[in-house]
Amino acid sequence: MPAIQPRCEVIVDALQLACRAPSLHNSQPWRWVATDDTVELFADPARLVRSADTTGREALISCGAVLDHFRVAMAASGWRAAVQRFPDPADPLHLATITFTAAAVSDLQRRRADAILLRRSDRLPLTAPPGWEDLASSFRQHTTSGGIRVDVVADEFRNSVAEASDLVEALRVYDAEYHSELSWWTAGFVSHEGIPQSSLISAAESDRVDVGRTFPVVAQAERRTEVDHDQSKILAISTEEDSSHSVLHCGEVLSAVLLDAAAAGLSTCTFSHITEVPTGRDIIAALIPGDAIPQTLVRVGLAPALDATPPPTPRRPVDEVLQLHRGRE
């Protein structure tokens, strides 16, 4: 008798939640295959943001984030996921094979799944996060294995991060392909992918945020005027090596950190433009202790209590990212 497996409806619902995971420019560079006994995760090379992600590194980070989101969603549905990463050495796009066993559901697992729907990328200025020391310590619990590090960039180095951000933007000022691609991913006509206009900020708002990718600005009334400058904390998520295994795991840790912050009522904004350029990665590496390779950065802060919750960014329908190869249902 075959082992009890999650029904198709459970997997579809979990994937619908998991695919809320963040990805570079909301490119969603993943595809899924559900078989009778497993769920398989693949990278989708057709969805690479090629000018910003020339090696596919950020697509791997995005896929790591969606993998962790899926684990969280399945746990809240009563299924423990066991993950085999890169199960086929001949296929580097085959990122994971996931199998399941039934398990009890805890309140913590439900809260983490709820946090998936709470998380947004907040590009507006933030106030300082309360209870930061305890929260920063909790982030590190996700780095006990796999050679991943989560470091808080010291406040005294904030100006150096801002200077690195400006430098990277200056290096790309004449990169027509980069700017063309950025404009495409932020165009208002895209319905299931990309960054909607509601998630972008105006020039005046951008002036109050010292660290972040320069997106096309939008014309709108200035928001959050009571926060005169960004007071968020900056995290650097790094690996010991640049292998595909490490980078995928980095995305999983990024997901865990973002969900921790969302569950704590905090806002986050992941930005990777600095680490897309070797010079920028070197600058960030010099600002954190030890010998590590920075992969991505995250701002963590508090949005004013009276702020309206921004609308969720679009996602592709599940039937566009999932193939069902199941014969027992």
Question: Which strand ranges, in their side-by-side order, compose the sheet holding 30-35?
Answer: 79-85, 94-102, 39-43, 30-35, 322-325
**Assessment of whether the complete model's pTM goes beyond 0.85:** yes
Block means of pLDDT (10 residues each) for the chain, 329 residues, are 79 98 97 96 95 95 98 98 97 98 96 96 96 91 83 96 97 95 83 88 94 90 93 97 95 97 96 96 95 96 88 92 79
Q: What is the pLDDT of residue 190?
A: 60
Q: What is the pLDDT of residue 220?
A: 83
**Across the strands, what pairs with 325?**
35
CB proximity list for 312: less than 8 A, separation 6 or greater: 20, 117, 120
Q: Which amino acid is at 53?
A: D
- Are 298 and 122 within 8 A, CB to CB? no
Q: What is the pLDDT of residue 32?
A: 98
Closest CA to 326 of 17, 10, 38, 19: 38
Q: What is the pLDDT of residue 189?
A: 64
Closest CA to 281 of 186, 194, 171: 171
Q: What is the pLDDT of residue 1?
A: 39
Going from the N-terminus, what domains does the chain have, and what CATH number goes with each? 8-119+313-325 (3.40.109.10), 132-301 (3.40.109.10)
Cα–Cα distance for residue pair 204/217, rounded to 1 Å: 9
